[in-house]
Amino acid sequence: MSILMRLGEPGQMEPSTMQRPAETNIDDAVAHEQRVYESSNPTSRRKFEAAKEVLPGGNTRGSLYFDPFPLFFQSARSSKVIDADGHEYSDFGNDLTAALFGHSNEAIVAALKAGLDNGMSYGGTHDHEVAFAREIRHRFRSIERVRFLTSGTEANLAAIRLAKAETGRGLVLGFFGGYHGNVLNWLEPKSEMNVDRADVRLARFNHIETVEQIVRDEGKDIAAILVEPIMGSAGGFVAETTFLSRLRSICDEIGALLIFDEVQTARFALGGYQSVIGVYPNLTTLGKFFGGGLNFGALGGAARHMDRLGPGHARMLSHGGTFSNNVLTMIAGHAALKKVFVQENVDRLNSRSNELRSALLRRANTRGVPLQLGSFGSLISTHFQAEMPRGPEDVKTPAIFRKLFQLFMINNGIFITRRGQFTVSMANTEDEFSALENAFDRFLDRYGELTDDYR
* Amino acid making up residue 37: Y
Report the nearest approach of ligand PLP to the CB of residue 52 (Å): 23
- Which neighbouring-strand residues pair with 225? 173, 258
Report the nearest approach of ligand PLP to the CB of residue 379 (Å): 10
Please count the other Cβ atoms lying within 10 Å of the Cβ belonging to residue 255: 14
Residues that bind ligand PLP (CB under 6 A): 96, 151-153, 156, 179-181, 228, 232-233, 261, 263-264, 287, 297
Helix pair 430-447, 343-367: axis angle to 10 deg: 20
Is 82 within 8 Å of 75 (Cβ atoms)? Answer: yes
Q: How far is CA 392 from CA 145, 156, 165, in A?
A: 34, 21, 31
Cβ proximity to ligand PLP, 180 vs 363, nearer residue: 180
Q: Which residues contact 109 (CB under 8 A, 6 or more apart)?
A: none
Cβ proximity to ligand PLP, 233 vs 411, nearer residue: 233
Report the nearest approach of ligand PLP to the CB of residue 261 (Å): 5
Report the nearest approach of ligand PLP to the CB of residue 238 (Å): 14
Largest CA distance in the chain: 74
Report the nearest approach of ligand PLP to the CB of residue 70 (Å): 17
Cβ proximity to ligand PLP, 87 vs 419, nearer residue: 419
Please count the other Cβ atoms lying within 10 Å of the Cβ belonging to residue 233: 22
Cβ proximity to ligand PLP, 189 vs 398, nearer residue: 189
Q: Find the length of the chain.
A: 455
**Short-list 30, 138, 20, CA closest to 403:** 30
Measured from each CB, the residue nearest to ligand PLP is 152
Q: How far is CA 149 from CA 99, 156, 286, in A?
A: 18, 10, 9
Cβ proximity to ligand PLP, 91 vs 228, nearer residue: 228
Cβ proximity to ligand PLP, 265 vs 412, nearer residue: 265
